[in-house]
A and B are shown apart, each in its own frame.
Chain A
Amino acid sequence: MHPAPSVIVFTTLSGLGFGLLVFLGIGQPAVTGWGAFWFFLIAYALAVGGLAASTFHLGHPERALLAFTQWRTSWLSREGWAAVAALVVMGVYAFAAVFFGTRIMVLGWIGAGLSLATVGTTAMIYTQLKSVPRWNQVLTPLHLVSLSLAGGALMAGQITETAVLMILALMLQLGHWQVGDKRFAEAGHTIASATGLGRPGRIRAFEPPHTGSNYLLKEMVHVVGRKHSLKLRAIALGLGYVVPITLILLPGAGHLLGGLAVLSHVAGILASRWLFFAEAEHVVGLYYGARG
């Protein structure tokens, strides 16, 4: 799939933002007043920024409200509902915490649940696609949700939770790559099944339907840069998981090391998210001779 920079940046940041909202909702840290103000400002900037940016790539953003209508069948519609509900509930919770110094526990827990559900629905948009076998696996939602929670814990300054969740996220990341690498072949998609021309013998794409490119090739058949995937995986693992865990576990780690840990984590997750898209092969590529 085409790794659009805007999608990579904003799924990474909004995942982090909703992860932070989960921890603020359950009262870790149990902040009020100015402390709460800054925490919620950061969380909302990340979460809302990501959602707002995702409407820019729409062909008709002025019709975006229609996307709330199909929640019965569409994960994208459900994501919209979950995100708006989470932001509204957490908004009320944040307002009370910042201006009245009271934390309405029930709202916080509901808001945390909705924030988690938002990340889950986002993950399901990718997971549901049978046409992209690498994404169509159980580990995709687990990978994205664990990553959001680990990043949220890191942003919330919760050392123990961060360490545990970060190691869990690291293992799920490795698992997602491991399983994902085999998914396409396991699903049994070949040029023979795509064209039905398998039985007579060997088959090869002889000529594409057009001399130039097209929407399908630009959007779904991304081939450039996959050769660097092993290096990028090492970078994603190092910066995204290993460095942040090491930094926060250093004795006497303060805001400076914490900030460095967050920056390193974001950089690593950007690499991971780039791979999430760039390595995901859409089965339509078979018609154009991808994978032989």
Chain B
Amino acid sequence: MTALPKTTDRKLGLVIDLDTCVGCHACVISCKGWNTENYGAPLSDQDPYGADPVGTFLNRVHSYEITPESGPAQLVHFPKSCLHCEDAPCVTVCPTGASYKRQDDGIVLVNETSCIGCGLCAWACPYGAREMDAVAGVMKKCTLCVDRIYNKNLPEQDRQPACVRTCPSNARHFGDLGDPDSDVSRLVAERGGMDLMPEQGTRPVNKYLPPRPKQDTAPAGEVDILAPFLEPVADSPQGFLGWLDRALEKL
């Protein structure tokens, strides 16, 4: 049913740390791999080795350059996938009931056997989280690896989304954002986790942790024990270089 549940028992989602993401795209690849080999229609590519390669991805990493008024410029890598919104506009527009949000854990899914591939849900999503697969003709989106997180056949440490499991810099965290005491909720509270495009009124479950300002990395008053070793050895040049320096000064 495309009516949204009033509340969900849990709010499973991701917390993405823009401070630690290094932009390696490992999450993109592991996502593509898992979701091609497992649940649902595979994520196809068109002309993958040709001049105009195009393909379906459920997770993509943008990069942005920030130039603050003061302090050094920053490069921020920005992974973006479905935010599993509480007020998901993609669900209510669906004419067939293929799109739905689960009552028990809040995951937004597509029933691929009843999707007619009209593409309206992709239009309704402000974040570009849904992509129509050109081969399967159905809408693809992040499932929060629903076939991993509840999968008793996998070792317990693997029961989290493929993107989270693979991230080498621990920039992605998975958990219940509806529980204020969960690790992810505490992380959001401590680091000032934010919503993307809050003015759209979608109430995303996924949160983003803002990058820390670079000048704050060294606390004030801390002594750098290596600094003395990096002092210039010779303040004024001696010998031939000293003569050259003095001679040039006089010119």
Contacts and interface: CB of A to CB of B under 8 A. Distances in A.
A255 interface: no
A53 interface: no
Contacts of A222: none
Contacts, number: 198
Interface string B206-244: 001011010000000000000000000000000000000
A156 B117 CA distance: 36
A10 to B, nearest CB: 14
A52 interface: no
B141 to A, nearest CB: 12
Contacts of A233: none
B247 to A, nearest CB: 47
Counting contact residues on chain A (CB < 8 A from B), the size range is 35 or more
Given A59-B138, A200-B68, A213-B52, A131 B124 contact: yes
A216 interface: yes
B92 A73 contact: yes
A208 B1 CA distance: 35
A73 to B, nearest CB: 5
Contact of A287 (B3, B28, B57, B80): B80
A195 B197 CA distance: 7
A100 interface: no
A81 B71 CA distance: 59
Q: Give chain B's interface secondary structure class.
A: loop
Contacts of B213: 200
B75 interface: yes
Nearest to B56: A215
A245 B120 CA distance: 36
Contacts of B66: 197, 200-204
A73 B210 CA distance: 35
Query: Contact size class for B?
Result: 35 or more
Nearest to B90: A131
Nearest to B213: A200
Contacts of B194: 196
A292 to B, nearest CB: 12
B65 A204 contact: yes
B2 interface: yes
B93 interface: yes
A131 B88 CA distance: 12
B228 to A, nearest CB: 33
Interface core residue of A67, A70, A129, A199 (most chain B CB under 10 Å): A70
B54 A131 contact: no
A85 to B, nearest CB: 16
A208 to B, nearest CB: 7
Nearest to B55: A214
A196 B197 CA distance: 7
Interface stretch (B5-13, B129-137, B146-154, B167-175): B129-137
7 contacts: A60-B138, A70-B94, A131-B200, A196-B194, A200-B213, A216-B131, A284-B127
